[in-house]
Structure 1
Amino acid sequence: MRTIVITGGTDGMGAALARHSLRAGDRVVVIGRSRAKFDALVASVTGDDRSAASRAEFLAADLSLVADSRRVVEHLLAHCERIDVLVLAASFIRQRRHITAEGREASWTLFFVSKYLLVTGLAALLGAAERPVVVNTAVPGARADALDFDDLELNERFTFARSNAQQRRANELLGILATDDNPELAYVTWGPSRLARSSFAGDVGTGMKVGAAIFGTLLGQRPDAAVRPIIDLIDAPAPAPGRAAYRGAKKVTLVVGDHDDKDAARLSTAVDDQLR
């Protein structure tokens, strides 16, 4: 039985993956903010397989808080022998800069720092799996120079576009750190081929909300269809170790910078310094 950990696993694509994995007979740990949504997810599966409830676990966490990410890591280290698949899908879109109760920028913390803590903190459990896979739903393709190492939380000149590009590039560099630590790890940065329907959790303006509702309804994929390429990746007999990037089912070229290894090491040092 595989152990699959999914952040953002109570909504949208994360929930679709959780349902598939439970039906496939896996042990599934869902990390999210709503116990009620988790209970509804499990109930939707147990009609077909009553054993699903015994294989499903919920960890309540707000991953825009460093303390919650660290608590999740500690719990998993204490209760798992290994992690076969780690899916990083938690999302809460903010158009404006927001400071958490910990005094940190919320989007940077949720979309990168939490992932950094999970990938690095759970390295030993991923290393214990026969063919470990990390799927990071940070859409690939950000410019190699998208990171401002001197202002990772964008205290100056914050825009939604800059924040998004910075997080995405950081997550590609995280793949370098993760696969250097474990050459057997398959680390995939992935984005859907087109808009996926979801509840669109976030603090955004009316225009973005209306646009997402309209285009999601008219053009968006159902979450279970959107995640089919992820399912094919993690269910493959032997996912190729190393880094890869996909849009939907299409493999795309990884962005290569002139100093990727140095940038990855610099990013790790900068984040560790931030967290002290």
Structure 2
Amino acid sequence: MRTIVVTGGTDGMGAALARHYLAAGERVVVIGRSRAKFDALLADTASQSPSAPSSAEFIAADLSLVEESRRVVDQLKEHHERIDALVLAASFIRQRRHPTPEGHEASWSLFFLSKYLFVTQLADLLRASDRPVIVNTAVPGARAGAIDFDDLEMVDGFTFKRSNAQQRRANELLGILATDQNPDLGYVTWGPTRLVRSSFAGEVGTGMKVAAAVLGSLAGQRPDDAIQPIISIIDTPKPGRAAYRGTRTRPLTVGAHDEDDAARLASAVEEVL
């Protein structure tokens, strides 16, 4: 029995992955904000596979808070000896800059600081697996210079576009740190080929909400369909870094100083964590 950890596992693709692997008889740790959504997920899974919920675990957390991410990491280390697959899929979209009570920019904290903690602090549990893999749902392809190392929290000049690009690039660099630590690890940045139907959690304007609802209903993928490429990645992992849009491999963004940029990013993050 493998141990699959899914952040953002109570909605959308995260929930679909949790249902799939519970039905397949794997141990699944779901991390999310809503116990009610987790209970609904279990009820849905039990209707198809009555014994599946017995191998499910739920950890309630708001991963936009660093201390919450630390607590989850500590709990995983206390209760598990091995992680075979770590899926980083937690999402909450904000169009505007939002400081957390800890003083971090909320999107940066959720989409990168939490992932940095999970990847680096759970390295030993991943190393204990024969074929470890991380699937990071940070859409690949951001330009090499997307990170503002002098203002990672985007105190000045925040825009949704800049914030999104910086998070995506940072998560590609995180793969360098992860695979340097563990050459047997597969680290995949992955994005869907088109919109996936979900509850679209976030603080966004009416226009974005309406557009997401309309496009989702007309052309959006069902989460159960969208996750098929992720299932293939998890079930047949390959060591090293890779990037995908759906089933298609994408070239990793190559900058002039990737190794140095990854080390610089890690140093800056460690100072604030």
The one-letter code sitting in structure 2 at the alignment partner of 1:31 is I
User: How far 1:274 moved relative to its partner?
Assistant: 1.3
Alignment-derived partner of residue 126 in structure 1 = 126
Deviations 1:162-209 (A, max 9, x none): 000000000000000000000000000000011100000000001100
Task: Give the Cα–Cα distance (whole angstroms) in 1 for the partners of residues 133 and 51 of structure 2.
Answer: 25
**One-letter amino acid of the counterpart of residue 257, structure 2:** H
What is the rounded CA distance, in whole Å, between the counterparts of 2:109 and 2:2 in structure 1?
29
Alpha-carbon shift at residue 52 of structure 1 (Å): 1.4
Name the structure 1 match of 2:110. Answer: 110
CA offsets per residue over residues 63-84 of structure 1, 9 Å max, x none? 0000000000000000001000
**Residue in structure 2 matched with residue 265 of structure 1 by the alignment:** 263
Once residues 186 and 193 of structure 1 are traced to their aligned partners in structure 2, the CA distance between those partners, rounded to angstroms, is 21
User: 1:47-104: CA deviations, max 9, x gaps?
Assistant: 2322212100000000000000000000000000100000000000000000111111
Q: 2:272 matched to which residue of 1?
A: 274
Q: What amino acid is the match of 1:79?
A: H
Q: For residue 148 of structure 1, what is the aligned residue in structure 2?
A: 148
Give the secondary-structure state (helix, strand or coil) at the position aligned to 1:245. strand
Where 1:58 maps in the other structure, the secondary structure is: strand
Shift of 1:35: 0.3
Paired position in structure 2 for 1:234: 234
Amino acid of the residue matched to residue 34 of structure 1?
A: S
2:12 aligns with 12
After superposition, where does 1:47-62 map in structure 2 within 5 Å?
A: 47-62=47-62
1 CA distance for matches of 2:19 and 2:48?
11
Q: TM-score, normalised by structure 2?
A: 0.99
- Give unmatched runs, 5+ long, in structure 1: none
Q: Which runs of 5+ in 2 are unaligned?
A: none
The whole-number CA distance in structure 2 between the counterparts of 1:44 and 1:152 is 41
Residue-pair matches, total? 273
What TM-score does the superposition give when structure 1 sets the normalisation length? 0.98
Q: 1:1-276 counterparts in 2 under 5 A? A: 1-236=1-236, 239-275=237-273
Q: Percent identity?
A: 73
